[in-house]
């Protein structure tokens, strides 16, 4: 692909729509210092100096889409609490359109990290892993039914908090069959839920998750290919992208065409959120009508930008354009055809 074509592809992402459905959470950080041990128990006393809250889970995926100029609709559940209000504000700030279903019987999923002198001391999770209750479930599907035809691409963002469950998947897959044009369904899998992802259009596990889904240890090209083939066998998915961290990604378009996209040697600061960036970029590119290889090539640049930043960062289209100009063209190789 020529440089000019890649720049055009980045420009054409703007304004396209992606729906993200799944587990939304609040990433909360309390940062401070320690100068004594508690008299109550053998633990440090952290003096909090600053606090920040960020969109996590499905919210981070949605934020990546908005950051590239796409229109993201986030559909998720929160509790009737302060963390739920904070999430709503953060979604507004990130210019996401949302349908947040308020469930009074659950807390908003919140992960608090307490960091003292640059070290995480403890993480505190507030969550209730459980599917939606009947009333909220009905509200969800009534809403989905009313807008589903406007979205060519949907990401199911499963962080194992119960939203993506058997009952949801069965009804969702039945619903999209009835659409004027069936939307593409993309999933970043959670190992315990593999059996829910039958017949989806694209799965994006990392090597560890691919190995867990296939029941083999993945370490090199041969085992990536074997794990991929086993996942097709198990799930009958249409396409598969195994992300391999610093070793790039392997794109399976069915089991007969396998290509590898390498990464570039870059300074890596923080790999958190690279997976979210990958699925978000691919979804938006597919929504803009690109082919899967072009979509993955853009996602590889976007993930490269994000791992070079601190925290769960996102890439903007100008970051992507800069990366394309600075880096050599990726040398896509054929693993099987």
Q: Which token pair is 213?
A: 């889904």
Complex with Mg ion: residue 32 or 308, whichever CB lies closer: 308
Is 56 a residue that touches ligand ATP (CB under 6 A)? no
Nearer to ligand ATP, 184 or 280 (CB): 280
The string of DSSP codes covering 185-241 is EEEE--GGGGGGGTT-SEE--BHHHHHHHHTS---SHHHHHHHHHHHHHHH--SEEE
Which one, 67 or 300, has the nearer CB to ligand ATP? 300
Residue, CB closest to Mg ion: 275
Query: How far is the first Cα of the chain from the last one, in angstroms, to the nearest whole number?
Result: 19
Q: What is the token pair recorded at 102?
A: 């308020």
Which residue among 183, 211, 248, 330 contacts ligand ATP (CB under 6 A)? Answer: 248
Q: Which one, 60 or 77, has the nearer CB to ligand ATP? A: 60
Q: Which of residues 278-297 bind ligand ATP (CB under 6 A)?
A: 278
List the one residue from 70, 275, 304, 330 that touches Mg ion (CB under 5 A).
Answer: 275
> What's the rounded Cα separation, in Å, for the pair 55 and 84?
11
Segment interacting with ligand ATP (CB under 6 A) among 63-71, 108-116, 193-201, 244-252: 244-252
Residue whose tokens read 């000019």: 4
The residue (of 258 and 278) whose beta carbon lies closer to Mg ion is 278
- Which one among 70, 183, 275, 330 touches ligand ATP, defined by CB under 6 A? 275
d(C-alpha 80, C-alpha 41), whole Å: 33
Active site residue 180: no
Interface pick for ligand ATP out of 108, 297, 300, 317 (rule CB under 6 A): 300
Choosing among ligand ATP, Mg ion, none, which partner's interface includes residue 307 (Cβ < 5 to 8 Å by kind)?
ligand ATP
CA 220 to chain centroid, in Å, comes to: 24
Smaller CB separation from ligand ATP, 131 or 245:
245
Catalytic residue among 27, 158, 276, 319: 276
How far apart, in whole angstroms, are the C-alpha atoms of residue 318 and residue 51?
A: 29
DSSP state of 41: S
Provide the mask over 116-155, with x wherever binding to ligand ATP is found by CB under 6 A and - wherever it is not: ----------------------------------------
Q: Is the dihedral of CA 173, 97, 129, 187 positive or negative?
A: positive
Selection from Mg ion, ligand ATP, none that 276 binds (CB < 5 to 8 A by kind) is: ligand ATP
Q: Judged by CB under 6 A, how many residues of this single chain contact ligand ATP? A: 21
CA 316 to chain centre: 16
Instruction: Name the DSSP letter for residue 183.
Output: P
Residue whose entry in the numeric block shows the structure tokens 């199911």: 156
Helix (H, G, I), strand (E, B) or coil at 319: helix
Residues 193-212 as x/- pattern, contact with ligand ATP by CB under 6 A: -------------x------
Positions 251 through 270 that interact with ligand ATP (CB under 6 A): 263, 266, 268
Strand order from edge to edge, sheet including 202-203: 97-102, 71-78, 17-22, 153-157, 184-188, 202-203, 239-243, 249-253, 257-261, 333-336
Angle between helix 292-307 and helix 3-11 axes, rounded to 10 deg: 80
From the list ligand ATP, Mg ion, none, pick the one residue 314 interacts with, judged by a Cβ distance below 5 to 8 Å according to partner type: none
The position carrying tokens 């209750």 is 133
Stretch 182-241 residues interacting with Mg ion (CB under 5 A): none
Do the beta carbons of residue 56 and residue 25 sit within 8 Å?
yes
Give contact residues for Mg ion (rule: CB under 5 A): 275
Which residues are known to be catalytic? 276
Give contact residues for ligand ATP (rule: CB under 6 A): 206, 243-246, 248-249, 263, 266, 268, 271-276, 278, 300, 303-304, 307
């Amino acid at each position: 692909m020529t440089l000019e074509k890649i720049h055009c592809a980045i420009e054409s992402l703007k304004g396209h729509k992606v729906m993200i459905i799944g587990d939304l959470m609040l990433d909360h950080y309390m940062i401070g210092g320690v100068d004594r041990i508690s008299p109550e128990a053998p633990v440090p006393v952290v003096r909090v100096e600053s606090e920040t809250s960020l969109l996590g889970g499905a919210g981070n995926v949605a934020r990546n889409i908005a950051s590239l100029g796409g229109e993201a609709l986030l559909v998720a559940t929160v509790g009737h609490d302060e963390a739920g209000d904070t999430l709503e504000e953060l979604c507004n700030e990130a210019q996401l359109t949302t349908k947040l279903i308020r469930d009074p019987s659950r807390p908003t999923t919140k992960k608090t990290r307490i960091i003292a002198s640059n070290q995480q001391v403890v993480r505190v999770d507030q969550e209730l892993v459980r599917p939606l209750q009947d009333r909220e479930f009905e509200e969800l599907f009534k809403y989905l039914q009313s807008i589903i035809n406007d979205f060519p691409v949907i990401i199911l963002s499963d962080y194992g908090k119960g939203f993506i469950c058997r009952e949801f998947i069965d009804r969702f897959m039945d619903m999209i069959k009835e659409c004027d044009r069936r939307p593409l369904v993309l999933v970043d899998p959670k190992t315990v839920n593999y059996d829910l992802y039958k017949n989806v259009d694209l799965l994006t596990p990392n090597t560890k998750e691919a190995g867990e889904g296939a029941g083999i240890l993945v370490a090199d090209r041969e085992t990536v290919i074997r794990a991929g083939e086993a996942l097709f066998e198990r799930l009958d998915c249409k396409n598969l992208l195994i992300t391999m961290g610093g070793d790039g990604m392997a794109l399976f378009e069915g089991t007969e065409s396998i290509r590898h996209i390498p990464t570039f040697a870059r300074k890596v600061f923080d790999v958190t959120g690279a997976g979210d960036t990958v699925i978000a970029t691919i979804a938006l590119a597919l929504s803009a009508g690109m082919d899967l290889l072009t979509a993955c090539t853009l996602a590889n640049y976007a993930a490269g930008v994000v791992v070079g930043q601190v925290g769960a960062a996102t890439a903007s289209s100008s970051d992507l354009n800069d990366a394309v100009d600075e880096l050599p063209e990726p040398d896509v190789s054929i693993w099987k055809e």
